[in-house]
Structure 1
């Protein structure tokens, strides 16, 4: 699946846009308003601790 994703990106955009790594995940954290919380995603990838927040719609 990862190879197919990278191939599609390479063909439809350019080799420069292919990410170095792709991680399969169960869910992306969103705010109650439906916006992606990119800072939490970056912290998860970096292995940093995450503090629970009341603004997260799907904290699990």
Structure 2
């Protein structure tokens, strides 16, 4: 298990969440603003996905 941190624009947050959930088994993303309040920090607890599996509604 490992942590992923992504800094992105608020408009990209949903797209980033979907992309990370498609690549890894994740829990819900924790979301915080950056200090300048112009971007968003997303934190995921993740694990490698077993080959051939698809994301579940819990990981999206």
TM-score (ref. length: structure 2): 0.28
Q: Indicate the structure (1 or 2) with the bigger Cα radius of gyration.
A: 1
Q: Which has the higher strand share?
A: 2
TM-score (ref. length: structure 1): 0.28
Larger relative contact order (CA 8 Å, sep ≥ 6): 2
